């Protein structure tokens, strides 16, 4: 064996070249940084100016609309106080009536004194009484009350189920709303018990006959019970509450049987059963029902009901009497007392009353100047008034005062709890005492003196353009507290409370305005505009700012064609869930966008997810108030065909035309974006034709108000145009970025799919072609294996041993070049293989891998040079499989099949997966195109004369193998791939080591591509310039740089969609999300197919590696993004970048030890090479270290 022992030996070959991207003057990066800083500064100034502009709400000109008739001033004043002395002149009849009332009052008071406990001190609070509220879907105020008073409740009983059929089938009441309510409660009060109520109300009447038939049928009862249990368990509710009313007399035994059967099913499941029963009805067997229920809820109201004679709803003597009676039938621990808080309005002489909420009752008294007083006998409030036709009405109601007195009575018997019928209709002052466990004394009673409207609104005028013309204010009542009986015995309103007063305008006979929400959308808005232009109709478009920013051309077209534009906020949030500041920013941003895009402002606003033209709760009135404070007119809608639900074109047309014919309103709501709007587009011309045929005229919102377009969309003043120009420049930059990201995402997915299909097809073709190749068995060139080594003492012996153990030609040598190692690499290699004449070991001063390879190249005259890294192990036939291709004189180099040998953890397994599915699959495909760009340093063979002709390995790139490969390909020779020439290489098993290696690869690849850029799109270089080089630039450099943004776009889409789904489940449309997910899923599917194909082409590989392909996207590829960014910055900086050194751990599968002495070509080391081959099959996905 010969060796070069002189460490001072210098490199032979070419003089060192300046590295690609190196900037010796060090001026490039400062200049580039300056340019980027200036660009960033300009961008920041534009965006900063836009932000400041949005933060300052634009001044909108006032639109002086005529005021509608509002509540007279006198109605908002206190009613005249009742006289403290009787009038001087009373008729005999009046005196008799007075005496009768006084006598009745004295009798009632005696009964009250007898029935009530007379404690010596104020009533103490019971230990743990339940506070329960009944909830209904059909009144938005019920949700408002729930939100306001959630913390005071222990249980909620929502009316969510109804008996639908005699077979026991149940119907859910608005399941979407029920789900929203459940989510709201559980997010804020997870401990609050939800016990849904089931009844036999059909929306118009109590269906007693249907109920009786169901109860009489054992199968129907079992069916109803099964549904109840399934419903409660599915939603994880605490139980069920039964409220069957108008029960036929003969059905009561069946009703008790049904309750017993239901209780028998619920009790073992620890689910609660409560029964709502009238507090005083002899038809009910209270004792029997109490035995088979957890609670009996006594409905202690309707002493006088809506279909009976006028009178107090729950006089206190009656209330106290029936509770005493029920004490004998119902155990206290099972008794829940339900109190009412509502009113009845009887037309005098009639036995039919309209039910009204507390707020409706007080508003009626307020507007009619009625005098609400506490009837001394019943202690229930009452008043009389005359309607517009001078008909006398008598109103009785229950309020916070009656609740106070009823709680005094209730505490004297201490039931299990008290329930309120119902949330949303009550006197808001009630919550000063209800749900509080304080003594019911004079101090607590005085809290009831302030009266306010918490949920109701008052409307004036007609139309769907809304303005708030009066703010709410509190009212005042004076009460008298009797310290002896601890009751409130008198109340008198001194000032009525006032709700929001909303003025409606825009009502005009046989005129309708078409309005469109959520646009613009290029798919539908453009079609709608074409239809409107053809039919000569002007409409109003309420745009979402982000959509307008993306499609300003449609905004301009809308204005140019005479349409109006209103604001629908910038991002379409649910205003009930955002802060006033965010709402102001939403409006301001949309206003600034319109000013920049079309040179106009807008006074028109429509809140997202608006219910209709008449908001019913404070949540719904809030956007009107906030928008009105900034000068906007809120535009509602009464003709809403729910086109977003896509009910069918005919149905959209029918609903719209019928609503207009019924005179329901003047504003038609349709949608031009936010989902699939094809049905809407098809319905528009039919709606226009049908309404015109019926005599309707189409106008704009401005025309409904009797104004011109310039008044509701005033042009930007000349002195403000410079600012709107700056705003629009910033919006345009944002829009450009958004459009670029969107198209990059789509183009990336499409190109990725096309590339995978293209590569896969070529790889299959390469496999087919290779099987038909015939190699010359007589071809036996001289071969030299050059092994550059730097600090490789852990692996060098194993590598050389694997080479000696492999089949090879007779003329064969191994040249080991120690590149100035600081460890024992040289001495270990020289001593271990001193007796092997094929092995020559040299050492030289450190000069880098290219210099070491060139040094070895200069020490051989072999025809074929095989290069491998010192951490690589060949299998037995690797060398012979490589060199057989050189029998073809057009072959310049052969790339082998590199595999990860140390699959010891997740990171190395992911690298093994990448080698198979990416690198090797690409080489298979590019083999047929003759455009392989890199013969890997781990396993490759070269024709030596071409290496000399191409300039050997140069030191101006970190990817010397890619550099030389491209150079030889440019000489016109073929670069082929040999998948059977397998080499096991040691991959980095730490993130730090992986990043260092991949940075070197990526930076070197960029250097090589830049160095050989002259081949790009040059016909004489064939597929190298038209396929391989663009592939490197696009898929290895560009897309890894922009992929983080694409990933963030996908994450943002998912997050936005999830938020919209959570916030607006009813109106939610997933069309946009499904498009994104479809493309992404298609890409992943094609990626898996290509990976499966790669594994099918790889013999003996472990298919379990494919399990990691999906998860590789969420960590491994992010590391590659970081490497791409780091490499790009390094190339721009122009600094020197070193080769770096990977720490060797000798963890790859190795061959067996060798016998000393000369190696025979065909027999030596067969067992060891077989072992190496088997090691490939034995590696599993699971980490072992």
Active site residues: 517, 671
Contact 76, 498 (CB under 8 A): yes
- Distance, CA of 684 to CA of 652 (rounded, Å): 9
- Tokens matching residue 1116: 């491994």
Element holding 215 (H helix, E strand): helix 208-216
**The residue to which tokens 């690849």 are assigned:** 1005
Contact 803, 785 (CB under 8 A): yes
Contact 872, 975 (CB under 8 A): no
Return the C-alpha torsion angle 184, 188, 189, 194, nearest 10.
0
- Tokens matching residue 497: 């409370």
Contact 1002, 962 (CB under 8 A): no
Burial 157-175 (b: 16+ CB within 10 A, else e): bbbbbbbbebebebeebee
Question: Could you tell me which of 362, 461, 423, 489 has the C-alpha nearest to residue 153?
Answer: 423
- Distance, CA of 874 to CA of 785 (rounded, Å): 11
Question: Could you tell me which of 1106, 1081, 1083 has the C-alpha nearest to residue 1093?
Answer: 1106
Alpha helices in 805-940 (DSSP H): 825-832, 849-857, 878-883, 906-914, 921-929
- 1057 by DSSP, 3-state: which? helix
DSSP category for residue 920 = I
Burial 1029-1038 (b: 16+ CB within 10 A, else e): bebbbebbbb
- 166 by DSSP, 3-state: which? coil
DSSP category for residue 375 = -
- Tokens matching residue 831: 């001593």
- Distance, CA of 744 to CA of 751 (rounded, Å): 10
Contact 984, 901 (CB under 8 A): yes
**Interstrand relation of 335-340 and 295-299 (parallel, antiparallel or unpaired):** parallel
Question: Could you tell me which of 533, 514, 524 has the C-alpha nearest to residue 554?
Answer: 524
Contact 947, 893 (CB under 8 A): no
- Tokens matching residue 988: 């980095």
Return the C-alpha torsion angle 1104, 1110, 1111, 1115, nearest 10.
130
| Greatest distance between any 2 Cα atoms in the chain | 145
- Tokens matching residue 1110: 């999906």
Element holding 334 (H helix, E strand): none
- Distance, CA of 1091 to CA of 1109 (rounded, Å): 8
Cis peptide before 520 (omega within 30 of 0): yes
- Distance, CA of 1137 to CA of 1134 (rounded, Å): 9
- Distance, CA of 595 to CA of 343 (rounded, Å): 51
Element holding 787 (H helix, E strand): strand 783-789
- Distance, CA of 248 to CA of 807 (rounded, Å): 100
Question: Could you tell me which of 283, 267, 287, 192 has the C-alpha nearest to residue 225?
Answer: 267
**Interstrand relation of 604-605 and 633-635 (parallel, antiparallel or unpaired):** parallel
Alpha carbon 401 to chain centroid distance?
Answer: 46
Contact 604, 540 (CB under 8 A): yes
DSSP category for residue 644 = G
């Amino acid at each position: 064996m010969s060796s070069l022992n002189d460490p001072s030996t210098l490199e032979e070959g070419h003089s060192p070249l300046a590295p690609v991207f190196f900037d010796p003057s060090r001026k490039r990066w400062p200049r580039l940084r300056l340019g980027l800083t200036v660009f960033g500064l300009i961008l920041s100034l534009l965006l900063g100016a836009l932000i400041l502009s949005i933060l300052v709400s634009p001044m909108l000109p006032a639109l002086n609309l005529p005021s509608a008739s509002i509540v007279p001033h006198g109605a908002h004043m206190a009613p005249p106080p009742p006289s403290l002395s009787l009038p001087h002149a009373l008729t005999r009849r009046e005196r008799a009536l007075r005496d009768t009332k006084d006598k009745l009052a004295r009798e009632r008071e005696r009964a009250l004194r007898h029935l009530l406990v007379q404690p010596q001190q104020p009533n103490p609070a019971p230990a743990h009484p339940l506070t329960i509220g009944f909830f209904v879907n059909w009144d938005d105020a019920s949700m408002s009350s729930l939100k306001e008073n959630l913390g005071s409740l222990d249980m909620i009983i929502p009316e969510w189920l109804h008996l639908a059929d005699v077979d026991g089938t149940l119907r859910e009441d608005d399941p979407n709303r029920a789900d929203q309510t459940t989510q709201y409660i559980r997010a804020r009060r997870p401990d609050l018990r939800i016990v849904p109520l089931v009844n036999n109300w059909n929306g118009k009447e109590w269906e007693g006959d249907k109920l009786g038939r169901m109860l009489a049928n054992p199968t129907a009862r079992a069916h109803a019970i099964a549904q109840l249990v399934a419903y409660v368990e599915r939603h994880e509710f605490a139980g069920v509450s039964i409220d069957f009313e108008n029960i036929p007399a003969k059905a009561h035994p069946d009703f008790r049987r049904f309750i017993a059967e239901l209780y028998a099913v619920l009790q073992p499941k620890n689910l609660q059963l409560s029964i709502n029963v009238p507090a005083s009805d002899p038809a009910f067997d209270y004792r029997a029902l109490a035995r088979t229920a957890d609670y009996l809820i006594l409905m202690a109201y309707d002493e006088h009901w809506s279909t009976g004679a006028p009178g107090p709803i729950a006089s206190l003597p009656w209330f106290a009497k029936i509770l005493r009676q029920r004490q004998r039938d119902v155990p206290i621990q099972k008794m829940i007392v339900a109190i009412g808080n509502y009113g009845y309005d009887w037309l005098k002489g009639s036995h039919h009353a309209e039910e009204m909420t507390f707020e409706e009752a007080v508003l009626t008294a307020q507007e009619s100047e009625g005098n609400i007083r506490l009837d001394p006998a019943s202690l229930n409030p009452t008043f009389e008034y005359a309607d517009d036709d001078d008909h006398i009405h008598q109103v009785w109601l229950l309020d916070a005062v009656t609740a106070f007195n009823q709680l005094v009575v209730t505490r004297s018997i201490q039931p299990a709890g008290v329930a309120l019928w119902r949330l949303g209709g009550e006197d808001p002052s009630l919550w000063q005492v209800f749900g509080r466990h304080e003594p019911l004394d004079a101090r607590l009673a005085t809290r009831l003196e302030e009266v306010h409207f918490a949920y109701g609104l008052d409307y004036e005028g007609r139309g769907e353009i809304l303005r708030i013309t009066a703010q709410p204010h509190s009212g005042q009542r004076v009460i008298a507290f009797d310290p002896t009986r601890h009751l409130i015995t008198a109340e008198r309103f001194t000032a009525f409370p006032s709700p929001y007063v909303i003025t409606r305008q825009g009502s005009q006979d046989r005129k309708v305005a078409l309005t469109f929400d959520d646009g613009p959308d290029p798919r539908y808005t453009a079609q709608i505009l074409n239809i409107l232009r053809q039919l000569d109709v002007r409409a109003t478009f309420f745009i979402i700012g982000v959509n307008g920013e993306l499609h300003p051309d449609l905004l301009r077209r809308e204005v140019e064609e005479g349409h109006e534009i209103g604001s629908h906020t910038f991002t379409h949030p649910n205003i009930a869930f955002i802060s006033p500041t965010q709402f102001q920013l939403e409006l301001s941003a949309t206003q600034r966008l319109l000013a920049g895009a079309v040179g106009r402002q807008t006074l028109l606003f429509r809140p997202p997810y608006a219910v209709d033209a008449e908001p019913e709760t404070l949540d719904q009135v809030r956007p009107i108030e906030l928008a009105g404070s900034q000068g906007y007119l809120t535009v509602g809608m009464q003709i809403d065909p729910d086109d977003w639900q896509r009910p069918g074109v005919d149905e959209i047309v029918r609903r719209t035309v019928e609503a207009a014919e019924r005179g329901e309103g003047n504003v038609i709501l349709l949608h031009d974006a936010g989902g699939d709007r094809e049905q809407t587009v098809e319905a528009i011309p039919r709606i226009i034709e049908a309404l015109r045929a019926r005599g309707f005229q189409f106008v704009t919102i401005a025309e409904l108000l009797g104004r011109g377009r310039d008044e509701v969309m005033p042009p930007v003043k000349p002195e403000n145009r410079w600012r709107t120009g700056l705003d629009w420049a910033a919006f345009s930059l944002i829009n450009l970025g958004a459009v670029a990201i969107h198209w990059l995402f789509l183009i990336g997915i499409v190109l990725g799919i096309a590339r995978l299909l293209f590569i896969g097809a070529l790889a299959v073709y390469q496999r087919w072609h290779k099987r038909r190749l015939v190699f010359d068995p007589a071809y036996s060139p001289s071969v030299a294996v050059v092994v550059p080594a730097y600090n490789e003492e852990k692996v060098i012996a194993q590598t050389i041993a694997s080479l000696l153990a492999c089949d090879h030609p007779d003329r064969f040598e191994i040249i080991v070049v120690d590149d100035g190692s600081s460890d024992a690499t040289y001495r270990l290699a020289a001593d271990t293989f001193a007796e092997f004449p094929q092995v020559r070991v040299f050492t030289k001063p450190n000069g880098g891998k290219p210099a070491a390879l060139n040094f070895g190249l200069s020490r051989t005259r072999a025809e074929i040079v095989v290069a491998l890294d010192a951490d690589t192990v060949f299998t037995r036939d690797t060398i012979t499989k490589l060199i057989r291709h050189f029998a073809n004189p057009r072959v310049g180099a052969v790339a082998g099949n590199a595999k990860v040998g140390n699959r010891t953890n997740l990171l190395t397994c992911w690298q093994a997966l990448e080698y198979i599915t990416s690198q090797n699959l690409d080489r298979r495909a590019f083999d047929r195109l003759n455009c392989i760009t890199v013969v890997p340093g781990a396993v490759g063979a070269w024709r030596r004369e071409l290496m000399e002709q191409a300039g050997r390995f140069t030191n101006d790139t970190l990817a010397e193998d890619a550099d030389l490969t491209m150079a030889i390909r440019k000489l016109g020779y073929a670069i082929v791939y040999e998948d059977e020439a397998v080499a096991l290489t040691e991959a980095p098993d730490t993130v730090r080591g992986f990043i260092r290696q991949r940075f070197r690869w990526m930076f070197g690849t960029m250097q090589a591509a830049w160095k050989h850029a002259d081949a790009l799109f040059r016909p004489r270089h064939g597929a190298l310039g038209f396929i391989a080089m663009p592939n490197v630039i696009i898929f290895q450099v560009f897309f890894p740089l922009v992929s983080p943004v694409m990933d963030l776009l996908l994450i943002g889409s998912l997050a936005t969609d999830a938020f919209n789904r959570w916030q607006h489940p009813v109106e939610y449309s997933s069309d946009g999300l499904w498009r994104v997910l479809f493309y992404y899923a298609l890409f992943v599917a094609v990626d898996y197919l290509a990976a499966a194909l790669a594994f099918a082409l790889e013999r003996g590989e472990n298919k379990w590696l494919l399990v990691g392909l999906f998860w590789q996207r969420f960590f491994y590829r992010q590391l590659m993004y970081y490497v791409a960014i780091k490499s790009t910055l390094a190339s721009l900086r122009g600094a020197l970048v070193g080769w770096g050194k990977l720490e060797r751990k000798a963890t790859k599968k190795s061959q067996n030890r060798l016998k000393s002495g000369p190696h025979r070509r065909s027999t030596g080391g067969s067992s060891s090479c077989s072992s190496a081959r088997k090691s490939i099959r034995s590696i599993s996905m699971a980490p072992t270290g």
